[in-house]
């Protein structure tokens, strides 16, 4: 078994978590940034902004990617806490979780405030 496969098979922290299971502020900001760092995921968020809630198959149709690819993008957004997915058999209904972006907004506001005070 290649070492990367071995590492994936071993128990340990989930993505974005420290070994103790807690995320630092920097971890959370990086997770949010990564989640929003792909055009398809931005399209998914924009779709949910327009529709409020959306069934997974509607999102696949809207963004025009394969269902498996869209599913991976949805997983990344969900792992970051940006969306929720409620199972409504046989479908999953997705919605935005707007409070999840609060740490990112606060961080970007600090950068903006700092830039406004910086000497030229």
Q: What are 53-89's pLDDT values in tens digits?
A: 788 888 999 999 999 999 999 999 999 999 999 998 8
Summarised one tens digit per residue, pLDDT across range 2-46 is 443 333 333 344 454 555 566 788 999 999 999 999 999 999 999
Decide if 71 is inside a domain: yes
Any domain includes 52: yes
Task: Pick left, alpha or beta for residue 115 (phi over 0 → left; psi -120 to 50 → alpha; otherwise beta).
Answer: alpha
In a domain, 89, yes or no: yes
Report residue 13: phi and psi, to 5°: -65, 150
Which pLDDT does position 6 carry in this prediction? 34
Q: Is the dihedral of CA 28, 29, 30, 35 positive or negative?
A: positive
Q: How many domains does the chain have?
A: 1
The answer to whether position 41 is within a domain reads: yes
pTM for this predicted structure:
0.74
Enclosing H/E stretch for 116: helix 102-117
Domain harbouring 93, CATH code: 1.10.10.10
Which of residues 119 and 59 earns the better pLDDT score?
59
| pLDDT confidence of residue 42 | 96
Neighbours of 53 (CB within 10 A): 13
Of 4-13, 48-57, 98-107, give the lowest mean pLDDT range. Answer: 4-13
Q: Is residue 63 part of a domain?
A: yes
The whole domain housing 108 covers: 25-115
Alpha carbons 79 and 100: distance in angstroms, whole number: 11
Q: Is residue 99 part of a domain?
A: yes
- Domain-located, residue 13: no
Token pair of 25, please?
């502020």
**Residue 1 lies inside a defined structural domain of this protein:** no
């Amino acid at each position: 078994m290649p070492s990367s496969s071995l590492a994936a098979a071993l128990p340990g922290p989930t993505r974005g978590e420290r070994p103790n299971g807690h995320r630092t502020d920097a971890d959370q900001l990086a997770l949010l940034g990564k989640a929003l760092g792909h055009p398809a995921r931005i399209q998914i968020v924009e779709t949910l902004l327009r529709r409020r809630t959306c069934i997974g198959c509607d999102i696949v149709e809207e963004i025009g990617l394969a269902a498996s690819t869209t599913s991976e993008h949805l997983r990344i957004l969900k792992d970051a806490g940006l969306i929720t997915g409620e199972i409504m058999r046989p479908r999953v209904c997705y919605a935005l979780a707007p409070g999840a972006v609060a740490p990112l907004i606060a961080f970007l506001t600090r950068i903006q405030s700092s830039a406004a005070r910086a000497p030229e």
